[in-house]
Amino acid sequence: MGRRSMGVEEEFLLVDPRDGRVRALAAAALNRCAEGEQCEVEAELQLQQIETNTEPCISLSDLGRQIRHARGQAAEAARSVGAEIAAMATSALPAETSITPGRRYQRMRERFGLMAEEQLTCGCHIHVEVGSDEEGVAILDRMRSWLPTLLALSANSPFWQGKDSAYSSYRAQVWTRWPSAGPTELFGSAEAYHDTVRAMTETQTVLDTGMIYFDARLAQRYPTVEIRVADVCLHPDDAVLLAALARALVQTAEREWRNGEAAAPVRLELIRLAGWRASRSGLETELLDPRTMRPAPALEVIDGLLEHLRDALEDSGDHADVIELRDALLSRGNGARQQREMFRESGRLADVVAECARRTAPSGS
């Protein structure tokens, strides 16, 4: 396969521009959006959030344009009902939530109770094209230990219910309450993957296969691997960087599989610890290096990721762009660092939300 297509789904909070609190305005915003043409904005679990989707893209420049366009479309719909969108993976201020009407979402509330009601989190999901389920599962097995590094890069949820959580991605902590969420053990084959998913649904714990919330999974509707580990990114360029890295991870893993290289037998327990470390510290201190599963400075782990992906990035022509995007992210900091810097400057979480909304989709974008 040549350059694989990729697409990005982003979830956003709907916030009041005056006080920074989330507002249950998704239905009204979507109605306004539907009045226009080619609306790419969709509902999510909570009425206080919406989701955007890009079309499949080959080039990073095209993907970046689509991400900005989708954010602008969502922002226009939100502004039409008196709100703004904010690329924050959790609400900085105390939030009252409302489950979106609909049979499936209501069933989720009935089964999971308060956990579903509190699940106001916003992620970034990246789809990368694969040729078959067998190839896709081989890729899942060979990329899983690097996924916490993507979480660290994207971490954008330091605040929860009006407090600093002490985490860079508190969304990751909240998200893992779902019984099917998190990293996976090695599958070995597409048959084993599908048998696992079938067994999980037969427990009647999750409602359906749509609730298989692995950090990375085979997508249901598309011939893609869907990487779901990341927070929504504050800056659109950071979402482009994540997509480029995700595609390179897929390409590198596929090449290892074709060359007969076995998936690294890293214990699931260690990958869980790596995810926790990424959630806790983001890029600020140490991560677990996937090559050794020992602590190492975050920047050293990022460099290791780029070295691991060098051949794939050069083959796709993305290496120079990824280096530039990486340097820009490290210079400005991920969303967690930026949010904390905003709070140190103003001392008001409402100001943090307002500034995040401004950076998500500036007026006129």
- Residue for token digits 């915003």? 29
List of residues 6+ apart from 94 with CB closer than 8 A: 21, 161, 162
- List C-alpha distances in Å: 324 to 16, 131, 240, 321: 34, 30, 11, 5
Q: What is the number of domains present in the chain? A: 1
- Note down pLDDT in tens along the chain; length 365 residues: 778 999 999 999 999 999 999 999 999 999 877 776 667 789 899 999 999 999 999 999 999 999 999 999 999 999 999 999 999 999 999 999 999 999 999 999 999 999 999 999 999 999 999 999 999 999 999 999 999 999 999 999 999 999 999 999 999 999 999 999 999 999 999 999 999 999 999 999 999 999 999 999 999 999 999 999 999 999 999 999 999 999 999 999 999 999 999 999 999 999 999 999 999 999 999 999 999 999 999 999 999 999 999 999 999 999 999 999 999 999 999 999 999 999 999 999 999 999 999 999 866 55
pLDDT of residue 10: 98
Residue 365 included in any domain: no
Residue 135 included in any domain: yes
Residue 287 included in any domain: yes
pLDDT of residue 361: 87
150 is in which domain, residue-wise?
6-360
Are residues 184 and 214 in contact, defined by beta-carbon separation less than 8 angstroms? yes
pTM of the model: 0.96
Rg (CA), the chain: 19
Are residues 360 and 86 in contact, defined by beta-carbon separation less than 8 angstroms? yes
Residue 236 included in any domain: yes
- Which H or E run contains 92? none
Residue 40 included in any domain: yes
Residue 67 included in any domain: yes
Burial of 180 (0-12, 13-18, 19+ CB in 10 A): middle
Burial of 345 (0-12, 13-18, 19+ CB in 10 A): exposed
pLDDT of residue 2: 75
- Return the CATH number at 133: 3.30.590.20
Residue 1 included in any domain: no
